[in-house]
Amino acid sequence: MIPVRFHLPLVLFVAATVLLTNLGGSPLWDEDEPRNAACSVAMMSRADWVVPTFNGLLRTDKPPLVNWIQLLSFSLAGRTEFTSRIGSACLTIGTIFLTYLLGSLILRPRVAIWGSLAMSSCFLTAVVGRTGTPDAPLCFCTTLSLLIFAIGLFRSGEPTDFDRWCPTMRPLHWSFAVAIGISSGLGMLAKGPVALLLPLLSMIVFSIWQTSSLPHFHSTETSYTGGKWRTFFRHASVFASSVCSAVAVIRPQFIVGTAILTTIPWVAWVSLRTEGKWINDFLRVHNFGRFYETMEGHSGSFFYFGVIAVVGFFPWSIVTGTMLAHTVGILHAEPLDPRKPAVRLLVSWTVVWIAFFSFSHTQLPGYIWPAFPALSMLYGLFLADWCRTPHPLVSRMMYYGWISLGVIGAGMLFGLCLLAARTAPGQEWIGVIGLVPLLGAFAGWSCQSRGNHSKAVASLAVTAAITMILLIGVAADRISHNTGTKFLVSHVAKDQNVSRWASYQHVVPSLVFYSQKDVANLPTPIAVRQHLRIYPDCHLLFDDMFEQDVLQILPDGYGILGRSHHVFSSRSLLLAGPLTKSIIHTAHTPEHSPQLLSSEHY
Helix axes 228-248, 194-212, angle to 10 degrees: 130
Between CA 92 and CA 138 the distance in angstroms is 10
Claim to verify: residue 115 and residue 174 sit in the same structural domain: yes
Claim to verify: residue 146 and residue 278 sit in the same structural domain: yes
For 61-72, b where at least 16 C-beta lie within 10 A, e where not — what string?
A: bbbbbbbbbbbe
pLDDT of residue 551: 87
Q: Is the bond preceding residue 34 a cis peptide, omega within 30 degrees? A: no
Helix, coil or strand: residue 564: strand
Between CA 8 and CA 242 the distance in angstroms is 40
- Report which residue type is found at 353: W
Claim to verify: residue 231 and residue 316 sit in the same structural domain: yes
pLDDT of residue 229: 66
Are 504 and 573 within 8 A, CB to CB? Answer: no
Claim to verify: residue 471 and residue 342 sit in the same structural domain: no
pLDDT of residue 164: 37
Between CA 82 and CA 137 the distance in angstroms is 17
Q: Partners of 521 in the beta sheet?
A: 503
Claim to verify: residue 369 and residue 461 sit in the same structural domain: no
* Number of independent structural domains in the chain: 3
Alpha helix stretches (DSSP H) within 1-80: 7-20, 32-46, 65-77
Give just the sign of the alpha carbon dihedral 504, 509, 511, 515: positive
Claim to verify: residue 298 and residue 399 sit in the same structural domain: no
Claim to verify: residue 341 and residue 398 sit in the same structural domain: no
Number of H helices and E strands in the chain, helices first, is 26, 9
Query: For the sheet containing 572-578, what is the strand order?
Result: 519-522, 501-504, 539-543, 572-578, 558-565, 583-586, 596-598
Beta strand pairing status for 558-565 and 572-578? antiparallel
Q: Is the pTM of this model over 0.75?
A: yes
Between CA 83 and CA 71 the distance in angstroms is 9
Between CA 125 and CA 468 the distance in angstroms is 9
Claim to verify: residue 375 and residue 454 sit in the same structural domain: no
Q: Partners of 316 in the beta sheet?
A: none
- Report which residue type is found at 568: F
Answer with the one of 480, 510, 537 that is the final residue of a domain: 480
Between CA 191 and CA 189 the distance in angstroms is 6
Q: Partners of 519 in the beta sheet?
A: 501
Domain of residue 560, residue span: 484-601
Q: Is the bond preceding residue 315 a cis peptide, omega within 30 degrees? A: yes
**Residue 366: count of CB within 10 angstroms of its CB:** 21
Which tens digit of pLDDT belongs to each residue from 235-254? 566 667 667 877 888 999 99
Between CA 353 and CA 332 the distance in angstroms is 23
Are 32 and 367 within 8 A, CB to CB? Answer: no
Q: Tell which residue, 314, 327, 324, 309, has the closest CA to residue 460.
A: 314
Alpha helix stretches (DSSP H) within 424-517: 435-449, 453-468, 476-480, 484-487, 509-515
Answer with the one of 452, 480, 508 that is the final residue of a domain: 480
| Mean pLDDT, 10 residues at a time, the chain of 602 residues | 88 97 88 93 94 94 96 94 96 98 94 97 96 96 97 63 46 92 97 96 92 60 55 65 80 96 96 94 86 72 90 96 94 79 95 94 90 97 93 92 96 90 84 96 96 95 97 89 80 70 87 90 90 90 88 87 75 84 45 32 26
Helix, coil or strand: residue 298: coil
Answer with the one of 433, 458, 480 that is the final residue of a domain: 480
Claim to verify: residue 401 and residue 373 sit in the same structural domain: no
Backbone angles phi, psi at 540, to 5 degrees: -120, 130
pLDDT of residue 590: 39
E strands in 230-324: none
Q: What share of the chain is helix, strand, coil (3-state, %, to 5)?
A: 65, 5, 25
Q: In Å, how far are 27, 522, 600 from 488, measured between CA atoms?
A: 12, 19, 19
Claim to verify: residue 567 and residue 524 sit in the same structural domain: yes
Q: Is 160 exposed, middle or buried (0-12, 13-18, 19+ CB in 10 A)?
A: exposed
Claim to verify: residue 151 and residue 282 sit in the same structural domain: yes
Claim to verify: residue 129 and residue 25 sit in the same structural domain: yes
Between CA 583 and CA 601 the distance in angstroms is 10
User: How would DSSP label each residue in 179-237?
Assistant: HHHHHHHHHHHHH-THHHHHHHHHHHHHHHHHHHTSHHHHTTTTS--S-HHHHHHHHHH
Between CA 206 and CA 80 the distance in angstroms is 43
Q: Tell which residue, 186, 10, 226, 222, has the closest CA to residue 97.
A: 10
